[in-house]
Chain A
Amino acid sequence: MPITFEKLTHEYNADTPFAYLALDAIDLSIEEGKITAIIGETGSGKSTLVQHLNALLLPTKGSLTVLDRTITAVEKPKQLKELRKRVGLVFQFPEYQLFEETIAQDIAFGPKNFGMSEEAALKQAQKMLQVVGLSEEYAERSPFELSGGQKRRVAIAGILAMDPDVLVLDEPAAGLDPQGAKDMMELFVRLNKEYNKTILLVTHDMEHVLTYCDHVVVVDNGHIAQTCDKQQFFKDSTLLRKLRINPPAVIRLRDELNQRGFSLPCDLIDMDTLAKAIADEVKAHE
């Protein structure tokens, strides 16, 4: 069952002089079991959008259906706990939110909060450490001894420990070194493929969108500017340039060469097929 937004509006400080319309009657459907990128400029409304997914924010107007729950503007939804267990939200720089004495305690905090026994929660924590690629021996260490990338893994393990069906991540690779970012993105692909999690990724990094995501949603100024699959999305970089987002290198190369006299098909979005087309075209001129 897809996640659907219907005419959802969110206005901050509604009915005050500081009212600010962050989302304006958006309609959107996000497919289950896929990795969807949510992109847009800073201030476009993408963070507001994702915070509706576990009812951290409630719509001012319209509705949202996630899993089997519908959240509307009219009535205050009850029992949000169950929804928050099933939709895990990871904020930017989540490593700043670690606080427990040991890594295992930190990861177990969420599940305990949702009613799991101490023992079961710690067992779950052990398992999650492995899922995020940290060995068991980390369990009893302090989270504050870790590197930035490792801390972030622990924070994500804490969300995974609640076994959510939907995982929403806000800039999960920001500030990591290239290898750390790659490992992080590969973790999400694995969570998607092996554990069948629906993944929503707020990101500025178009290389990650191109390499790891299935679908793309573009938020612009409180509206949905585009929603399509990756292949379709990277056919044309006009929208990206309009939003002042730098397209991935492969797309920049394709467009640049076409501007300078090549005629490469615009559905080419990966390096190898593009290289083949370039080589063919150069040789055809011989």
Chain B
Amino acid sequence: MKKIQVSHLSFGYDKEKKVIHDASFAIEAGSYTTIIGHNGSGKSTIAKLMIGLLESDTGVITVDDLELSEANIHEIRDRIGIVFQNPDNQFIGASVADDIAFGLENHQVPSEEMQDIIEEFADRVHMRKFLNSEPTKLSGGQKQRVAIAGVLAMKPQIIIFDEATSMLDPQGKAEINALIQDIHSKSNLTIISITHDIEEVAHSDHVIVLDQGHIVLDGTPDEVLFHEQELIDLKLDIPFALKLQHALEAQGLQTKPCTTMEGVVDELCRLHLKN
């Protein structure tokens, strides 16, 4: 089932210069979609258009059966949560509990229900111990976990992660990636991740590649990632697994094409045992 349908979307910050050109794509309900492209390719702009933070010049965005318009923008925003890149720019509360409460207050959740909801979602992101902590006492990864709790507390159906791990240290990155995987596996949330991490892309269900506001590739990781030369020309990374297969081929060893490290390891072990 299609969760989001984008048709012929165009947008420019000023009239002469379009940053999104006639973009069309669809996202399946419950899927994990990654959007890649080098800086300035329009990835974040697309995210902002999808949640109605920016208004498109032409084109249609449909979420479920709702066509995004000024009339239903609030209804659509209730369905889509977004987590941004910089943990410091999205921490609004004076404490973790405050920060999670922010969205709930905006939705007039009665205060007697609020405490339970805050605790439930602080638990969900393993931040229960820190409910009264100030943001300055938290690491970047912890702040991002709080941001995710705030989004989850609004019970969205779709979450967009806009480079949510790119400013974190490796430990923070690993924590957040594991949390996103966990959320995805235990719910029917639709996840859209704007990322530079090609290994994350290889493990996703669906990849959209943007270049200068155009959608240039759209499909499963296997359908997209084997277009290696195209990815290189777009100044994007290619997965380690593919680089390795070329190196093995140069040594006269053919392996079954595969985009993930686990896949290549399994294949090599199979060949090793068979012989």
Interface residues of A (CB under 8 A from B): 41-42, 147-149, 174-180, 204-205, 244-246, 249, 252-253, 256-257, 260-262, 271-272, 274-276, 278-283, 285-286
Residues 148-171 of B, flagged 1 when their CB comes within 8 A of A and 0 if not, give: 000000000000000000110111
The residues of B that contact A246 with a CB separation of less than 8 Å are 170, 174
- Find residues 37-68 in chain B having any chain A CB closer than 8 Å to their own CB: 38-40
Closest to B140 in A: A42
29 contacts between A and B (CB under 8 A): A41-B169, A147-B39, A148-B39, A149-B39, A175-B166, A175-B167, A177-B196, A178-B198, A179-B38, A179-B235, A244-B170, A252-B261, A256-B261, A257-B265, A260-B269, A261-B269, A262-B268, A271-B243, A271-B247, A275-B244, A275-B253, A278-B248, A278-B253, A279-B248, A279-B252, A279-B253, A282-B268, A283-B252, A283-B275
Pick from A42, A257, A283: contact of B253, CB below 8 A: A283
A282 adjacent to B271 (CB under 8 Å): yes
The residues of B that contact A281 with a CB separation of less than 8 Å are 272
The residues of B that contact A245 with a CB separation of less than 8 Å are 170
Pick from A41, A176, A261: contact of B273, CB below 8 A: A261
The residues of A that contact B247 with a CB separation of less than 8 Å are 271-272, 274-275
Q: A42-B139, A149-B39, A180-B39 are in contact. Are A249 and B240 (CB under 8 A)?
A: yes
A56 → chain B closest CB, angstroms = 21
B240 adjacent to A262 (CB under 8 Å): no
- Find residues 86-101 in chain B having any chain A CB closer than 8 Å to their own CB: none
**Do most interface residues of chain B lie in helix, strand or loop, or is the interface mixed?**
helix
The residues of B that contact A279 with a CB separation of less than 8 Å are 248, 251-253
Residues 225-261 of B, flagged 1 when their CB comes within 8 A of A and 0 if not, give: 0000000000111001001100110111100000001
B272 adjacent to A204 (CB under 8 Å): no
B42 → chain A closest CB, angstroms = 13
A178 adjacent to B237 (CB under 8 Å): yes
Closest to B253 in A: A279
Pick from B236, B244, B272: contact of A285, CB below 8 A: B272
Closest to A248 in B: B240
A150 → chain B closest CB, angstroms = 10
Closest to A205 in B: B170
Closest to B166 in A: A175
- The answer for the CA separation of A213 and B240 in the assembled complex, in Å, is 20
Q: A42-B169, A271-B244, A282-B275 are in contact. Are A177 and B268 (CB under 8 A)?
A: no
- The answer for the CA separation of A42 and B250 in the assembled complex, in Å, is 40
B162 → chain A closest CB, angstroms = 13
Pick from B252, B264, B272: contact of A261, CB below 8 A: B272
Contacts A177-B38, A279-B248 supplied; 13 other A-B pairs, CB < 8 Å: A42-B171, A177-B235, A178-B235, A178-B236, A179-B236, A244-B170, A246-B170, A256-B265, A261-B272, A271-B243, A271-B244, A271-B247, A276-B251
Q: A177-B196, A178-B236, A275-B247 are in contact. Are A260 and B171 (CB under 8 A)?
A: no
The residues of B that contact A276 with a CB separation of less than 8 Å are 251
The residues of A that contact B269 with a CB separation of less than 8 Å are 257, 260-261
- The answer for the CA separation of A274 and B240 in the assembled complex, in Å, is 13
A275 → chain B closest CB, angstroms = 4
CB-CB nearest 8 A-B residue pairs? A285-B275, A275-B247, A279-B251, A279-B253, A179-B235, A249-B240, A178-B237, A177-B39
B240 adjacent to A244 (CB under 8 Å): no
The residues of A that contact B85 with a CB separation of less than 8 Å are 175
The residues of A that contact B275 with a CB separation of less than 8 Å are 282-283, 285-286
- The answer for the CA separation of A249 and B243 in the assembled complex, in Å, is 11
The residues of A that contact B171 with a CB separation of less than 8 Å are 41-42, 244
B84 → chain A closest CB, angstroms = 13
A268 → chain B closest CB, angstroms = 12
- The answer for the CA separation of A161 and B247 in the assembled complex, in Å, is 41
- The answer for the CA separation of A276 and B249 in the assembled complex, in Å, is 10
